Amino acid sequence: MTDNSLLNRLLELFPEDLIETHSFRGDLTAVIRPEGLVRIVKRLRADPDFQFDVLMDLTAVDLLQKKSCFEVVYHFYSISKNHRLRLKVPVPEKAAEVDSLVGEYAAADWYEREVYDMFGIRFRNHPNLRRILMYEGFEGHPLRKDYPIRKRQPIIGPMN
């Protein structure tokens, strides 16, 4: 399947869920509505045309100046087809929450916990959503652009 045919197939299958698609130097990207995430990912994994069997990475971007505020970014790879796809899901700051993909990809467990810890984006139905990099008493989410970098944390000892 070529780059354009893969994106065109996604547009055929999910016209109501896709916001935009583009391909640049072989990097395929689809921006999708949050409510379509699990439905699309299940199809990407099971459909013989796609066979995206590996969730390579999951992260987030703080778009401070944009309306959606955050994007959760997923990178998928198909071993048998040797193709890659990036999904971006816009997430508003006031309701920073998206569905968990742990049920489809076990690797999503730690990736989602990291995004939760660093950005404060919650993942609905995650089996163990808690901090993974910062300690439990840490206040705030350090990769948010509005995080106060000079903030003193409760457990940090005296400065010498």
For residues 5 and 67, the answer to whether their CB atoms sit within 8 Å is no
Q: Single out the residue of 22, 36, 118 nearest to residue 70, CA to CA.
A: 118
Domains of the chain in start order, with CATH, are 3-124 (3.30.460.80)
Dihedral sign, CA of 114, 115, 118, 120? negative
Contact predicate 6/50, CB 8 Å: yes
Strand partners, 139: none
* Mean pLDDT of the residues in the chain: 91
pLDDT at 68: 65
Amino acid type, 117: D
Average pLDDT, integer, range 76-87 = 96
% residues pLDDT > 90 (the chain): 72
- pLDDT tens-digit series, residues 22-62: 998 888 999 999 999 999 999 999 999 899 999 999 999 99
Average pLDDT over residues 132-141: 90
